[in-house]
Amino acid sequence: MTILLTTGYHDASAWRAALADALPGREVAVYGVDRYDPAAIRYACTWHPPKGMLKVLPNLEVIFNLGAGVDGVLSDPELPDVPIVRLVDDDLTERMGEWVTLQVLNHHRGTLTYLARQKRREWKEDDQPAARDVSVGLMGYGTLAAHAARILKAIGYRVHGWSRSDKPADVPLFAGEAGLGPFLAATDVLVALLPLTADTRGILNARLFASMRREGIGPVLINAGRGGLQNERDILEALRSGALRGASLDVFNTEPLPPDASLWAAPNLIITPHCAAVSEPGAVSRYVAGQIARHERGDPVENVVDRSRGY
C-alpha cells in the first residue's frame, strides 16, 4: 500500500524521508517523480495538488493537506468524495504565533523607522503608546489566532477577534457580517488569518482599511492567511497615501512575488516570502501517521474540512 505525496516543492526528498520515518512499512510515491499503481494509493498527502491528480485514484480513502490553508486542494473541480484532513499542528501554530507577534511589535515599536535612522546614524526617539493602548484584531479566529492572542495578551495588547460564526473564545469576539463593522472600528492592527473562500477573496481592500480605527498607531494590516484575501493594488495605494500606516505581508496573489511587483518598494511594508509558518515535515508526518492510525482502527479522522464552508 502506497502513500502518494505532492509537496509543491522542487525537491520533495525531505518530505518523503519524514513520511517514511513516521509510517514504517509503507511505500511513499512522489507525484511526478516515482512510478506507482493508482489502485495502490489509499492516502494522499498534498499541497496544491495538480488538478485531476486525485480523481484517478480508485481506492483513495483520505486526503491530508500539508499546510494550514485548504483552498489549493479545494480548487480541484474533480476532487474525490473522501475526507480532507486539515493540518492542525502545534509546530505550525507556534511558528505562526512567533511571526504574528513579531509583526505587531515591528509596527508598534517602529522597527523600520529606527533601522532607517540607524543607517543615517541618527539618534532620535519617537513617543509611542503602551501595548495596553493598542488594539489588535484577529480576523479568522481559529487555532492559530487563539494561540497568537495568548501571546499578544501577555505582552499587554488589547486583543479581540472576528469570526464567521459566534463561538466561545478567550477574547471578545465579533461575529458574522453584522459584527465586521464594529470589529474594524475597534481595530488598530488587523491580523488576517482567514481561510480563502468565495466570501473572503479580496476582503482586504480599500473599503475595509477605511473602516478601521484611525487613532494611535493604526491602521496597520498584517496578512499571514492567503494572498487571495488581499487586493494588492489597494494595499499599495493605501500605504502610499497613508490610509494604511504600515503592513506586513507573508502571502501574495502570485508567489513568488515577481521581481517587478511595485509592492517590493512600498513604504512601511515588511515582506516575508511565505515563511510565517512553514510546515515542518517531521511534525506533519507524525500528525498524518496519527490520523492514519485512527482511521485504520475504525475511528473517524479529525479536523475534516467542511467543503461547503471551504475550510
Q: Residue 170 has what DSSP assignment?
A: S
Residue 270, interface with its own copies (CB under 8 A)? yes
Query: Which residue has 474533480 as its cell numbers?
Result: 78
Min CB(282)–its own copies separation in Å: 11
289: its cell numbers: 501517521
Q: Residue 55 has what DSSP assignment?
A: T
Angle between helical axes of 90-108 and 143-155 (0-180°, round to 10): 40
Min CB(21)–its own copies separation in Å: 18
Q: Which of 10, 35, 81, 124 binds its own copies (CB under 8 A)?
A: 124
> Which one of the spans 99-107, 163-171, 199-207, 222-230 is the region binding its own copies (CB under 8 A)?
99-107
Residue 109, interface with its own copies (CB under 8 A)? yes
C-alpha distance across the termini of the chain, in Å: 29
Q: CA 310 to CA 307: how far, in whole Å?
A: 5
Burial class of residue 147 (count of CB atoms within 10 Å of its CB; 0-12, 13-18, 19+): middle
Q: Which of 125, 165, 198, 308 binds its own copies (CB under 8 A)?
A: 125
Handedness of CA 290, 291, 294, 295 (dihedral sign): negative
Site for its own copies in 133-192 (CB under 8 A): 150-151, 154-156
> Which one of the spans 70-78, 104-112, 190-198, 205-213 is the region binding its own copies (CB under 8 A)?
104-112
Min CB(100)–its own copies separation in Å: 10
Under 8 Å between Cβ of 239 and 271? no
Size of the site for its own copies (CB under 8 A): 45
Is-catalytic flag, 226? yes
Q: CA 194 to CA 268: how far, in whole Å?
A: 23
Min CB(244)–its own copies separation in Å: 17
Is-catalytic flag, 274? yes
List residues near its own copies by CB under 8 A: 91, 94-95, 97-99, 101-102, 105-106, 108-109, 111, 114-115, 117-118, 121, 123-126, 130-132, 150-151, 154-156, 255-257, 259-261, 264, 270-275, 278, 280
Catalytic center residues:
226, 274
